[in-house]
Structure 1
Amino acid sequence: MSNVGKGWWCAAALACAAPGAAWADTTLTIGTVNNADMVRMQALSSEYEKSHPGVHLNWVVLEENTLRQRLTTDIATHGGQFDVITIGAYEAPLWGAQKWLKPLDNLPADYDADDLLKNVREQLTVDNHLYAVPFYAEASITYFRTDLFARANLTMPEQPTWDQIKGFAQKLHDPAHGVYGICLRGKAGWGENMALLGTMVNSWGGRWFDENWKPQVDTPEWHKAVNFYIDLLKHYGPPGPSDNGFNENLALFAGGRCAMWVDASVGGGTVSNPKESQVAGKVGFVRSPHEVTDKGSSWLWVWSLAIPASSKQGDAARDFILWATSKPYLKLVADKYGAEATPPGTRESTYTNDEYIKAAPFAQVTADSLKAVDPAHPTLKPVPYKGIQIVSIPEFQAVATLVGRQIAGALAGRGNVDELLHTAQGAVDRTMKRAGYYDKKPVISKEATP
């Protein structure tokens, strides 16, 4: 076993002498998002420090939009503020291709890289080099209150349509008793409201760009999807939905305030845990809604750990991220917080673990969704890009943030959807023109056809 491999294995198993002595007085600065799984990682990292007495962990835990801004600025300027960063399926391939991340080749045998889900690992790989390791992966799924559905004599299909979801929301919306028909992301951000809306647009047969990189924001598909979304939340959602992102909606649903919620499958661990959820044992899980098509109706996202090329603590950072994404770490989480809290979606072995399957009623729909999604062919009509709720180009972050702000404004009552989409179309068009996309020869998958 390599020294690096021995480091993470011993730390995870909590059973070895201190291999971290090789990095005496080393401080690793870790930038991560304030999601529940990362908060648990921070709490459990004391076990890592115990077995690595020379390593000190400095945590920078931020809200999702703020984290992305900080990390993007630091990585692009080679600022060197972070040794470990939490990034997703959007950043990893783009930043890896730019050589802004250290490649993670020659992983130790005990790490069992072959156990990583193929569809997940591919999102973090460029030219056969892995540039990040998955901490957890998620699809978007539908959560619903089984007790409320039973009381109203309603049956949730295994693969509902958005129209069916709206009908259920109408029947279950009961704000007088503190229950809203549906909770959805409304907070502006390319990884917040636009993650959900990207899948909704796909479901209505839309796309971000056509074969020649011309924006498609001002099209019937976008208008139908966005107007449906705003109408749904205005009539059957909680007050102030434009303030709610993943964490806010998770708290609402776990607190019994939502009859349904369409969002990341990773929330299943929280809503199924009686210590964290008032509705544990009363939640059903099915596939994400579709409408005209199911192509691109569920996203694939991977929160992963990577090492900036600017880090001067590369070896120590590598040891830490292998520990935090290892099979022994998953067991550590299960032992401490319950099997249902195991970071999901990264390893085949998680879904052959009977204890996890029994404790996690959302496990099967998560696994099925992750394996079914196809980021290489994300839409009904042909496109020149990869990505379901994202577009694999550097400009997407700015473009989707701009559109997301416009839509969040409309949700808050500031402006008309159709006018805002027309305005957004012009802004995206100018961005793509300046970036030279109209001079590029389109590269379109033959399989991405209607």
Structure 2
Amino acid sequence: MRTQSRRRPRAALVAVAAGALLTPLLSGCWAGAGGAGSGGDSINVLMVNNPQMVELQKLTASHFTKQTGIKVNFTVLPENDVRDKISQDFANQAGQYDVATLSNYEIPIYARNGWLHEMNSYVAKDPGFDQQDILPPMRQSLTADDGRTYGQPFYGESSFLMYRKDVFAAKHLTMPAHPTWQQVADLAAKVDGARPGMRGICLRGLPGWGEMAAPLTTVVNTFGGTWFDKDWKARLTDKPFKDAVRFYVGLVRKHGESGAAQSGFAECLNTMTQGKSAMWYDATSAAGSLEAAKSPVKGKIGYVAAPTVRTKSSGWLYTWAWGMQKASRNPDKAWKFVSWASGKDYEKLVGEEFGWADVPAGKRASTYAIPQYRKEAAAFEDVTRAAIESARPRDPGVQPRPAPGIQFVDIPEFTDLGTKVSQELSAAVAGRQSVAAALQKSQQLAEPISKEYEGR
């Protein structure tokens, strides 16, 4: 954990955060009347355009607004666009948006900068919300250094290994419940080409701190590597980091999907759904799509824990959560929306309206006690919950860390660093440079951050 002596002065951190988190705003598709300004009986919500959020938008007027009289003006944008717009509005404390979707990466940073409204006072007056029902790793990841909560999860995820049960059975292969990465590599070689056009495994190679860098960092952790040691020394050319990257790049080049350097979550999901991959290591949230009613691989997929080497577990921890802007003129109404959208009753509403596989799970213990959900998600819900509950964001590897985070380092600079490093490593996946060359360049990218943080 970081100590106060290592932390930058607040004014400096605000400047760094605003600079590192803001990138040129990409073109996006607007929905709702978010720019109208909130007030009276309305609030403005800025959120990512993933399917579960779009479902929430459809349910809001007929349920939340009908119950409370509070109108919600939504602005819905793709992930990169929404992060840019949120960082602009919250960094400036413009107050245009009362609530926004933030992840467990941004929330601790935003909280330290004073951009978010704490939620403890609201939770204390809202016993029906049941904060203790939120899974502990999720609660911890949305709690800042001051011990207060600044976000409530909409859904949560970890990572695990998915594989084709029918293909493994035909090859007389057994997938361990807790595989090692070497076992996965051996199995990938045996199932590569098991069906026409089928490769052994799909792994992200698309550049991006939230794309390739996310799964790769979990591999680095369990191989014994780290981006920075406890004294903020960059360690990207240390042997464990090198071993992890060589393994990952070698595995995807030998037995991975075609065009791996351009494959992210969406591409691997399509590859798995279309029967072009026998295994896939990625987010637990993918299971809902693979097991959807119209999925051609429904019932054919097995799910096991994220592969390990030196650690007991290696799955990441991620949540899209609701954050309330400190400058909101309607914090009470904003909390009512957050309480509804992250509450127990909302999950039941989604199950009844859209089907239980669509429930935004991964955040509440009570979800896993709902018979309809357990039946619909039987193939993956136990493994998902176990992955989330075993996630250790403050201790994900074999050595002390200077900042929390499993698939990221929770400092403002990581968005830029993670993306630039992943660009170098993606080039290695594409065969345009060696792993050694990529890591040497990556180390040079990380060293200025070491100098910034050392001794603070």
TM-score (normalizing by structure 2): 0.85
Determine the structure 2 residue equivalent to 1:179: 198
Determine the structure 2 residue equivalent to 1:59: 75
Deviations 1:212-268, CA, capped at 9 Å, x for gaps = 110001111122111221222222222222222223322332333321111111122
8 Å CA contact retained: 1:183, 1:258: yes
8 Å CA contact retained: 1:24, 1:53: no
Determine the structure 1 residue equivalent to 2:404: 386
Determine the structure 2 residue equivalent to 1:111: 129
Question: How do residues 27-426 of structure 1 correspond to structure 2 at under 5 angstroms?
Answer: 27-32=43-48, 34-47=49-62, 48-51=64-67, 55-62=71-78, 64-105=79-120, 106-107=122-123, 108-126=126-144, 127-174=146-193, 177-275=196-294, 277-291=295-309, 293-295=310-312, 297-360=314-377, 361-426=379-444
Query: Helix, strand or coil for the counterpart of 2:52?
Result: helix
Determine the structure 1 residue equivalent to 2:21: none
Cα separation, 2, equivalents of 1:78 and 1:248: 36
Shift of 1:45: 2.9
8 Å CA contact retained: 2:60, 2:72: no
Q: CA RMSD in A?
A: 2.2
Shift of 1:98: 1.6
Shift of 1:74: 3.3
Shift of 1:57: 2.3
Shift of the 117–65 alpha-carbon distance from structure 1 to 2, 3 Å rule, reads same
Cα separation, 2, equivalents of 1:335 and 1:364: 21
Shift of 1:411: 2.0
Deviations 1:396-439, CA, capped at 9 Å, x for gaps = 22221221221122223332221111111012101321x2x222
8 Å CA contact retained: 1:223, 1:421: yes
Cα separation, 2, equivalents of 1:415 and 1:79: 44
Determine the structure 2 residue equivalent to 1:10: none
Shift of the 425–142 alpha-carbon distance from structure 1 to 2, 3 Å rule, reads same
Q: Which amino acid aligns with 1:29?
A: V
Q: Which amino acid aligns with 2:242?
A: H
8 Å CA contact retained: 1:296, 1:379: no
Shift of the 54–392 alpha-carbon distance from structure 1 to 2, 3 Å rule, reads closer
Q: Which amino acid aligns with 1:339?
A: W
Deviations 1:38-63, CA, capped at 9 Å, x for gaps = 2332333343345456514223221x
Shift of the 322–288 alpha-carbon distance from structure 1 to 2, 3 Å rule, reads same
Shift of 1:135: 0.7
* Residue 429 (structure 2) pairs with residue 431 (structure 1): no
Give 5+ residue unaligned stretches, structure 1.
1-21, 441-450
Deviations 1:180-227, CA, capped at 9 Å, x for gaps = 221122222212211101100011110111121100011111221112
Q: Which amino acid aligns with 2:127?
A: A
Give 5+ residue unaligned stretches, structure 2.
1-37
Deviations 1:283-304, CA, capped at 9 Å, x for gaps = 111100112x125621111221
Q: Which amino acid aligns with 1:179?
A: M
Q: Which amino acid aligns with 1:161?
A: T
Shift of the 248–184 alpha-carbon distance from structure 1 to 2, 3 Å rule, reads same
> Runs of 4+ in structure 1 displaced over 6 angstroms?
none
Cα separation, 2, equivalents of 1:424 and 1:73: 28
Shift of 1:176: 7.1
Determine the structure 2 residue equivalent to 1:16: none
Cα separation, 2, equivalents of 1:247 and 1:61: 17
Cα separation, 2, equivalents of 1:81 and 1:420: 42
8 Å CA contact retained: 1:23, 1:54: no
Cα separation, 1, equivalents of 2:86 and 2:424: 24
Determine the structure 2 residue equivalent to 1:5: none
8 Å CA contact retained: 2:307, 2:313: no
Determine the structure 2 residue equivalent to 1:443: none
Query: Helix, strand or coil for the counterpart of 1:130?
Result: coil
Cα separation, 2, equivalents of 1:223 and 1:258: 26
Q: Which amino acid aligns with 1:215?
A: A
The answer to which of 319-328 and 22-31 deviates more is 22-31
8 Å CA contact retained: 1:145, 1:283: yes
Q: Which amino acid aligns with 1:136?
A: Y
What is the aligned length?
413
Cα separation, 2, equivalents of 1:369 and 1:259: 21
Query: Helix, strand or coil for the counterpart of 2:285?
Result: helix
Q: Which amino acid aligns with 1:342?
A: V
Q: Which amino acid aligns with 2:368?
A: Y
